[in-house]
Homo-oligomer: A and B are copies of this chain.
Amino acid sequence: MKKIINDPEHAVQDMIKGLVAAYPKQLKQITGTNVIIRKEAPVATKVGLVSGGGSGHEPAHAGYIGKGMLDAAVVGEVFTSPTPDQVLEAIKAVDSGAGVLLIIKNYTGDVMNFEMAAEMAEAEGIQVDKVIVNDDVAVENSTATTGRRGIAGTVLVHKIAGAMAEQGASLKEVKDIAEKVIAGVRSMGVATAACTVPAAGKQSFELAEDEMEIGIGIHGEPGIERKKLSSAAEIAQQLTDKILADLDFKDSEVAVMINGLGSTPEMELYIVNQTVQGILAEHEIKVSHTFVGEYMTALEMAGCSVTLLKVDKELKALLDAPSTALAFKM
């Protein structure tokens, strides 16, 4: 796979420079770190929200920095957890005294490094708490995870916890609402082509011209089933069925996210959405919000994921709350 980069070793540094150069009114980089923060951080009296992880998931996570979403994104190397000292820098930069919540996708490296940073911050007198997102119903454990992986549903945690924090909620209240989202959000993905980590130079797995892989992660991890490429309707059905079998969505209202993994045209995501909406209607599940686009990618992987989040009046209002984050279209 061809890459429009300079030196693979500096791709993440170059990306951060290009990102902050693009949006200097909204974002700044903490000098000497891979931490990007909201320009006006720390926001007085507000709980600070920090997320992040490996690079390659853009627009996650820096694209979700802004009023009503995140205060900082810690940027690791491609598909590699950021180190604890980097996470600590982010915590220190966004703490206004009201405490900091870490929103962590469930990968062993991320959990370990964010937790270590939390301990270091607490030793410096900063109140820190964390939530771990594990929305992917495809696999119970994987090479990179104990328990379920965190994927696109994480963006809905950012949005809702971010809105709650912006309204002046306490650290406990922000954590509680994030946990409520995590309890009600489920996702699953499919790939029709793998991606290539720049420094590796070869695809993470190979699929034949007529194959797809169900249940993939967002780091080129293998999925659960390799099969013949089927129609958008069949793919949507398989993903949605697995999600609906995992959590009881009966009589629920849901927010839907159809997320592109990197190289799938928006046209195809809308075609998938059309079927998903039909399936939900058949199950008499009402849809409050739909988000279609690239929210959490895996470099140029082809494919998509479906996410459903159970919503109530409180979560719907928080989804509707204004956000200035660049990549959260609403």
Q: Which chain A residues numbered 46 to 79 have a C-beta less than 8 Å away from chain B?
A: 55-56, 58-59, 63, 78
Q: Could you say which of A15-23, A102-110, A149-157, A246-254 contacts chain B?
A: A15-23
A131 at the interface (CB under 8 A from B): no
| B299 A267 Cβ-Cβ under 8 A | yes
Q: Which chain A residues numbered 274 to 293 have a C-beta less than 8 Å away from chain B?
A: 274-275, 277, 290-293
Known contacts A18-B277, A263-B302; A268/B231 CB under 8 A: no
Residues of B within 8 A of A265 (CB): 56, 58, 262, 297, 299-300
| B271 A5 Cβ-Cβ under 8 A | yes
State in angstroms the CA–CA spacing of A55 and B5 once bound together: 29
Q: Which chain A residues numbered 219 to 269 have a C-beta less than 8 Å away from chain B?
A: 229, 231-233, 235, 258, 262-269
A193 at the interface (CB under 8 A from B): yes
Q: Which chain A residues numbered 1 to 47 have a C-beta less than 8 Å away from chain B?
A: 2-6, 11-12, 14-19, 21-23
Residues of B within 8 A of A294 (CB): 266, 294
Kindly provide the distance from the CB of A273 to the nearest chain B CB, expressed in whole angstroms. 4
- Which residue of the partner chain, among B268, B290, B303, contacts A5 with CB atoms under 8 Å? B268
Kindly provide the distance from the CB of A64 to the nearest chain B CB, expressed in whole angstroms. 12
Q: Which chain A residues numbered 298 to 319 have a C-beta less than 8 Å away from chain B?
A: 299-300, 302-304
| B268 A3 Cβ-Cβ under 8 A | yes
Q: Which of A58, A78, A272 has the most CB of B within 10 A?
A: A58
Known contacts A23-B290, A264-B300, A267-B56; A229/B18 CB under 8 A: no
Known contacts A271-B11, A290-B23, A294-B294; A263/B300 CB under 8 A: yes
- Which residue of the partner chain, among B18, B231, B275, contacts A274 with CB atoms under 8 Å? B18
- Which residue of the partner chain, among B15, B273, B274, contacts A270 with CB atoms under 8 Å? B15
| A266 B59 Cβ-Cβ under 8 A | yes
Kindly provide the distance from the CB of A194 to the nearest chain B CB, expressed in whole angstroms. 12
> Could you show 7 A-B contacts with beta carbons less than 8 Å apart?
A2-B229, A5-B231, A58-B267, A59-B293, A78-B267, A265-B297, A265-B300
6 smallest CB-CB distances across A and B, nearest first, come from A263-B263, A18-B270, A18-B274, A58-B266, A18-B273, A22-B290
Give me the interface of A with B, judged by CB distance under 8 Å.
Answer: 2-6, 11-12, 14-19, 21-23, 55-56, 58-59, 63, 78, 190, 192-193, 209-210, 212, 229, 231-233, 235, 258, 262-275, 277, 290-294, 297, 299-300, 302-304, 326-327, 329-330
Additional A-B contacts beyond A262-B263, A266-B294, A326-B329 (4; CB < 8 A): A6-B233, A14-B270, A15-B271, A21-B274
